[in-house]
Amino acid sequence: MARVAVIGAGTMGHALALVFALGGHQVRLTDSSEKTLARAQGLMEKALATLVANGEAPAEWTSAHLAQMVTRHADLAETVDGAEVIVEAIIEVPEAKRTLYAQLAECAPKDAVIASNTSQLDVFPLIPEALQARSMIAHWYTPPYLVDLVDVIPGPSCEPALVDKVHTMLAEMGKQPLRLRKFVPGYVANRIQGAIGAEVQYLLEEGVASAEEIDAAIIHGLALRLPILAVFAKADFTGLSLSQSILANGSYTPPPPRRQSAVLDKLVAEGRTGVLSGAGYYDWDTDAEKLFETRDKKLIELKQALRKIGTMAGLERDQ
């Protein structure tokens, strides 16, 4: 059991605290917002209850047990006191992260590993020299208690033994750590998701299909094969000479890069900012908690089915 400090208790932080606790670690959680730190307890309890009810966490994981495993602290120094691993999950704002790392250089235990959950921002230039040898990125996907991939990227002068330590810790928690050779914004999965995002905006803006129709094409066309074959195994099944011809014909051209979308701007201007506002591309029920619970239950059912079915691609390939 390691002592883990999670800094930032927002969308990711509260869920990461739960994941590390479920992984057998003693967690301290903090946030600069008192309100967010208070809200984190209910969010963790709700997610935990869904996991227990669906067989993804043992029944002894009651709210009382959670309260023993994850404690909340207003003070940063108290949060990181005695920590072996410090998880940075604060807002993706360079100055906020720079300030926090400067504070950590003062108050973090000298041998603590520091792992940032940054999505796109290269945090390494923001980290003081004193912390460089112990700094890395461990990037999770939401909800991290269900999505197992964790991108692990060592800082430029991070000690390799510490990267091994975090890799082993994550694997022992049942996660799928993916160690990348160097930092690239968005890592692997989010870059591919970014390319899909650019493509769907293009199709929508050009009036090729509606949001619902594009989602239907993804669900019924793209998504079914992905968990079994991913991309390279699917290409092997298609036949690589077809891939070669498609490249040679130049028949696919990516959409021109854009920094704005008229459709997106209109939705946001109308206050349709996503499930928390009750609407986005779709109209949603106003009970966001219920929506998250429904999403989690469906993801659990899919995950359990996929565990049985297995995959013909990737690191756990069966045949």
Q: Which residues contact ligand NAD by CB under 6 A?
A: 7-13, 30-33, 36, 89-92, 96, 100, 117-119, 139-140, 142
Nearer residue to ligand NAD within complex by CB, 89 or 114: 89
Nearer residue to ligand NAD within complex by CB, 212 or 289: 289
Q: How far is the CB of 116 from ligand NAD (least distance, A)?
A: 7
Backbone angles phi, psi at 4, to 5 degrees: -120, 135
CA 134 from chain center: how many Å?
21
In what helix (H) or strand (E) does residue 45 lie, and over which residues does it extend? helix 34-53
Q: Which residue is nearest to ligand NAD (CB)?
A: 10
Nearer residue to ligand NAD within complex by CB, 11 or 261: 11
Q: How far is the CB of 199 from ligand NAD (least distance, A)?
A: 20
Which 8-state DSSP code applies to residue 177? E
Task: List the structure tokens of 213.
Answer: 């129709």
In this structure, the strands spanning 85-88 and 176-179 are: unpaired
Q: How far is the CB of 8 from ligand NAD (least distance, A)?
A: 4
Task: List the structure tokens of 132.
Answer: 């460089």
Nearer residue to ligand NAD within complex by CB, 49 or 96: 96
- The answer to whether 143 and 153 are in contact (CB under 8 A) is no
Q: Which residues pair with 177 in a beta bridge?
A: 150
Q: How far is the CB of 33 from ligand NAD (least distance, A)?
A: 4
In what helix (H) or strand (E) does residue 96 lie, and over which residues does it extend? helix 94-107
Nearer residue to ligand NAD within complex by CB, 11 or 176: 11
Distance between CA atoms of residues 49 and 145, nearest Å: 12
Q: How far is the CB of 74 from ligand NAD (least distance, A)?
A: 10
